Amino acid sequence: MVYKYVYGPVPSRRLGRSLGVSLIPSKTCNYSCVYCQLGRTDHMTNTRQDFFDPKEILSEITNAVKENPDGIDYITFVGEGEPTLCKSMGYLIRETKSRTNLPVAVITNGSLLYESSVRDALVNADIVLPSLDAGDEETFLKINRPHKKLNFWAVVNGLKEFSKMRSGKLWVEVMLVKGLNDSEGELEKIAKILEDVKPDRVYVNVPIRPPAESWVMIPDEDAIVKAHEILHGYIIAEYEEGDFHIENSSQLYDEILKICERHPMREEQIRNLAKKLNVNADEIVVKIKNDSDVKIIQYRGKSFFVVKPKRV
């Protein structure tokens, strides 16, 4: 079945087989990160609201879980932007946990944790994965290009407050961009903040998928290793391993498009999927290359397929 809000399970470098739930319209965010794999933010907002009917989202989650009884490690609330902008996030986490018994993860930029309602909404998630790419306001403005109402130190304080009250794990991700936040000085500032936040894990990531700005570069290897030392982080600078989960070959093309709306796919991943389902991979690849809704981006020697954003 092709869903509107739910996709996958997709292989995730941190969460295994992750059933993705997208709570907001494409590129709706309060940041416009230079490395964003979804392109520049064209709907910048800092106002929380229900963009879609939460009951419909919940019903898709329960149906998708029934279809994949043993194939999901985490139900992951993400977004084609910032998922905590969804006002019903707390309700959705609570209901998903009680209806499915599966652990829930939230991938967020963490910026709204300065609001107590957002901290309360996320408190029951099994893992919250916020990002922290800067150690001061100046770098924050350069790398995350936030909504004008956001203040870096308020964001940091929100993260610290949430860390104290959380019941699940806190895994902070630091995305490194060459020349912006990969110097020892910048990394030390991030490390200092993390000392107070006290996350359970730190992940050091690099832009492995096509970024919003073409000048964004992956740091040199020695800078990545230095970041690992300074931040005491796990490095996740490789492409994810594992298969995307699609059972029904008759809907393969639509399912691939759904995934590419949220998660750029590499040509080799599409070919592997087609092969697994005994579908002619060349036909699928030719079709997607000629699809006017799809953008092909060459990045680091690989072709990525991205569905152009649609407004709701």
Residue numbers of the site for ligand SF4 (CB under 6 A)?
Answer: 29, 31-33, 36, 38, 41, 81-82, 109
Find, among 5, 169, 143, the residue nearest to 77 by Cα. 5
Burial of 280 (0-12, 13-18, 19+ CB in 10 A): exposed
Provide, rounded to whole angstroms, the least separation between the CB of residue 272 and ligand SF4.
26
3-state SS class at 95: helix
Contact of 9 with 19, CB cutoff 8 Å = yes
Residues with Cβ within 8 Å of 45's Cβ and at least 6 positions away in sequence, in order, are: 28, 29, 30, 85, 147
The residue (of 81 and 309) whose beta carbon lies closer to ligand SF4 is 81
Provide, rounded to whole angstroms, the least separation between the CB of residue 175 and ligand SF4.
8
Provide, rounded to whole angstroms, the least separation between the CB of residue 108 and ligand SF4.
8
Provide, rounded to whole angstroms, the least separation between the CB of residue 264 and ligand SF4.
12
The residue (of 33 and 231) whose beta carbon lies closer to ligand SF4 is 33
Q: In angstroms, rounded to a whole number, what is the distance separating the alpha carbons of residues 235 and 214?
A: 23
Q: Pick left, alpha or beta for residue 38 (phi over 0 → left; psi -120 to 50 → alpha; otherwise beta).
A: alpha
The residue (of 210 and 274) whose beta carbon lies closer to ligand SF4 is 210
Provide, rounded to whole angstroms, the least separation between the CB of residue 24 and ligand SF4.
9
The residue (of 65 and 78) whose beta carbon lies closer to ligand SF4 is 78
Percent of the chain as helix, strand, coil, to the nearest 5: 40, 20, 40
The residue (of 82 and 255) whose beta carbon lies closer to ligand SF4 is 82
